[in-house]
Structure formats: C-alpha cells, structure tokens
Amino acid sequence: MQHLAAALALVASPALADEDRFVASNTYATFYHELAHALIDTLELPIFGQEEDAADVLSVLKISETWEEDRAVAMAYDAAFGFTVDPEDVDREEVYFWGVHGPDPQRYYNLVCLFYGGNPDEREDVAEELGLPEERLETCPEEFDQALNSWGSVLEELSESDEQGDLVLVGNDQAQLDILGDEIAWLNEEYSFPQDIKIHVEGCGEANAFYDTFRQEITMCSEYLPYLRELWQEVPS
C-alpha cells in the first residue's frame, strides 16, 4: 500500500531544502533497519546469514514498496549517499572486516541493486547514475524477488494479524519526532505487532541508532540528525 500524498507533507514539500530531504530519508532508512531487528527478535524470525544484512534488506523494501515512486527514488539516492558519499573511496573511514556490518561500499551497492531490482523498467537510470556495474545489474531483479519472498511474507502476516501491539514513539528531540511521527502512525495502521515496541528518541552521546534486545526497544539517538547534516556537506551537488 502506497502512502497518500498528504502523508508525505513533511518530506515531499517543494519548500524543503535538499538537505532536509536527505536528513529525513536517512532517518527513515535507519529506522526501518532498526525495526527489522525488532521484528527479528519479537517474532523470533529465522535468519540464514548476517542479521545486519537482513535488516538492510527490509529497509530497502520499505523504501521501494511503500512510498510513491518519485519519493522512493529520492530516498534511494539519499540513503545510498548516507552509506558512503563516494563508494569507491574505501579510505573514507577505517573498514572493520570483523564488524557485524558489511563495509559501507558493499552496503551501498546492495541498496542500489535491490532498489533497482524492485522496478527495473523504471529505475535503470538510478542504477546507472549510482554506478551499479553491469555484472551485478543482471541479478538484481532476482535478488529483489528473493528479498520480497522472505520479508514480504512477514509483513503480510503482520498486516493480517489480530495482535494488539503498536510502535510507541517517545522522546524529547522534536526534530526527529516530527520526522518519524507520521510514519510510525501509518505503520500502526498498516500492521499489528506482537507487542508494543517503544522507539526512544534521546541523547546517547554518539550519532547512532540501535535495537536493544534486552529491553526490546529501539533507540534513535538525538545526535544522529546533526551528524546527517554534517554528512550532507560531503554529498556531491
């Protein structure tokens, strides 16, 4: 189900600067990633492979499948640059191959591939402009279908569930609350969760977002938005 135009007022208004769109897009993409961790935990979903990769996949699916096409394309560009401004520049930050997340350039190309694969007839220019190699391009529709078959069945069950759980947004960072509020309200209308899942917007001492398996809560750090605004300065015009 696609969002109605009225639900896009915050991020689709022509009056908003590109920087604000970039910040909102990456906030959504990160939130979807953490929501994936919450669903994997609370639904006890089997994961064959890295959980972080599975969470990235859900983020791309939510961007691709639930936003109107123009906005989805803009979000894909923004989220791709959010992973790494220059995917060829592996020296932009130290790469920790022992970490649970894949290197940013790999996450960049996975995002572009999956997004392109979700609508290859309309998104060929996206893949080309974001530098997806021809040899990867060929497999992307199949990769998207595999992702949709796995996460799609989970989301379908949530949409048909009679559970009473909701996403509950709390915090004191009004900027993030404004970005996330309408989206979380829409998700609560669309899905029934197995239990209430709190999303805390609060200071963490670092630009981060994470899911706490002990508390079964998502935290979106208030330092994350200023970090995104700094990152925006590196995005090529």
pLDDT at 1: 46
Angle value at C-alpha 78, between 235 and 91, nearest 5 degrees? 50
The residues pairing with 171 across neighbouring beta strands, listed in sequence order, are: 201
Question: Strand 197-202 vs strand 167-171: parallel, antiparallel, or unpaired?
Answer: parallel
pLDDT tens per residue across span 122-180 = 999 999 999 999 999 999 999 999 999 999 999 999 999 998 899 999 998 999 999 99
Rounded to whole angstroms, the Cα distance separating 199 from 209 reads 10
Beta bridge partners of 183: none
**Amino acid 124: pLDDT:** 95
Partners of 212 in beta bridges: 217
Give the integer Cα–Cα distance in Å for 174 and 201.
9
pLDDT of residue 17: 54
Q: Residue 94's pLDDT is what?
A: 55
Nearest in space to 123 (alpha carbons), one of 75, 158, 192: 75
pLDDT < 70 positions in the chain: 1-17, 84-102, 236-237
SS3 string, the chain, reads: CCCCHHHHHHHHCCCCCHHHHHHHHHHHHHHHHHHHHHHHHHCCCCCCCCHHHHHHHHHHHHHHHHCCHHHHHHHHHHHHHHHCCCCCCCCCCCCCCCCCCCCHHHHHHHHHHHHHHCCHHHHHHHHHHCCCCHHHHCCHHHHHHHHHHHHHHHHHHHHHCCCCECEEEEECCHHHHHHHHHHHHHHHHHCCECCCEEEEEECCCCCCEEEECCCCEEEEECCHHHHHHHHHCCCCC
- Which pTM was predicted? 0.87
Are the C-beta atoms of 25 and 82 separated by less than 8 Å? Answer: yes
Phi-psi region of 25 (alpha: psi -120 to 50; beta: other; left: phi over 0): alpha
Give the span between the Cα atoms of 34 and 214, in whole angstroms.
14
